[in-house]
Structure 1
Amino acid sequence: MHLATCLVEMPNEVRHGYSRRETAIGLCDPWKALEMDAKPLPKIESRPVQPKEEQKPRKKDGDRPPKEGSTHLPKFPAVQVPANDLGTKKIDFSQVKQLRREIARKYSANADSRVNDEYRRTKNDIYRMELDKLEDIHEVNRQHMRRTYFAYLQNNKGAKKAVYECFPKQQTQKETVKQN
């Protein structure tokens, strides 16, 4: 009881050293707490609403340089569903199996259109970043760079096809000497 009385009567400005962090302003007298619960609070005046300042005119897209290089990210992939598709029609339970087959055929990881899109995108990335210029890299590092490309770019079926096409197995000087 002594601690509670001390905290209630203590001025708010008093601090007890650096041993704890204050998490509340202080304790309130129980009668005052009851009064605050029973009576409505006084009305707080709000700030008058002011009209918004006029916004500056926006820059036109023509002022901006075109997006290019490695900072340009591809568009977020979106699934395009044709209007005459089975997925847009009302179906009953007997057609669910057919719908699942159609979805797997069109949108699975092995779908032909998806593989072709990934192939094209990876091939464009390889040429855009000029990764196809392996002959410019010193022979000592060439195999390491090729392995690095394979490790980072072969993350799906279409990309794997593009990587194998753009980076065919190149012979080192040692292999050429062994063949002769």
Structure 2
Amino acid sequence: MGKSQSEKSASKKRSDADYAITISTGEEGIEAPVSMKVRGDNGTVSIPLTQTKGGEKSFQSKSKSEFTCQTTDVGKIQCITVEHNEKEKDVLWHIKTVQITKGSETYNFNADVRLDQKENKVNLYPVGTLFGHQRDDYVQSELRRLRESLRSESSKLRRPPHKPHEPFVYNDLRPYFDTSSVERAIYSPVTYPTGYYTRVTALRIVEPWEAYGMDYGVNYELLKHRKTRSLSSKPPPSKPTDESIDRKQGSTHLPPYPAVNMHKPPEYSQALTVDDIPKIRSLIKSRYSGAADAQKEKDYKRTHNDVYRMQLDHIDGYHEKSRGNMLRVYHSYLQNTPGSKQALRELCDQIAPKNTKTTVKSAK
């Protein structure tokens, strides 16, 4: 038997409730459309926060905005989600507290959170032991405080300029201040629906009894048994069957390096006395001081021929940003004697382009 029209309207009226919402804004306000989703025992309802109760402008800095709405009664409120639709990059909205009055029930939410373009919504839970969310609100408040602390500390890191021709070993320490795991913990629901292949566990936390067992539950008897077994199972060293074979000979034991036998004059192997000092000085003077000019000229010609033999004069074949480095390489590897230094300086001045000539001179 169907219900009458009056009974249907009475049943519909009983399912509605009057909501009085008060949002306290902190230092930064917002002028974008804001909506709120209220989740309770009987479902979820969405409430647009567009028109205030007194008709004034909503969400101004250091002010309170009051809204009234009559919509479906969700029962006992478990969680609310506040979201704005501002698309500008420099938007920042500081929500201090939220209060919802539904009939004779009053729900208080301590937010103290800032929303921007990237993070435009936040989940809030009622405060108080009556609703069973005091611990959840404290944990999420600590996570938000940790996020703000990490962001402020990471903003102090500045990437230093990379000096050319020097090693660059800068590390931004991103794994230490990455807040992705913290933000995931903040915005994930408290009662997350788990699948059949997972179980609810804390992130990077081990149960106390398991942690104690890992620290003090080492089985020393098992380690002793393993040590004894490893010593007893070690095979005895093998002995060569044929004693006449020299085990040090062969390509893998003693490779045949070439050795040059030099016949030294007898005066090189005898003991030196004070009377031999004049001979040594005259030998050094005749070999190094007297022949220094000849050796310098020899090194000059050798370096001059090496540059053209190895085709090092084709400096235009390298990229213009690498030519200065190649000239420095020439000086590092070929500039080892006075004669080679003079030859290399003249050749580099000839083959170096105009934009790298001064760089080579500074490298000398």
Higher Cα Rg, which structure: 2
Higher strand share: 2
**Band the TM-score falls in, shorter-chain normalisation:** 0.3 to 0.5
Higher helix share: 1
Higher RCO (CA 8 Å, separation ≥ 6 residues) = 1
TM-score normalized by the length of structure 2: 0.22
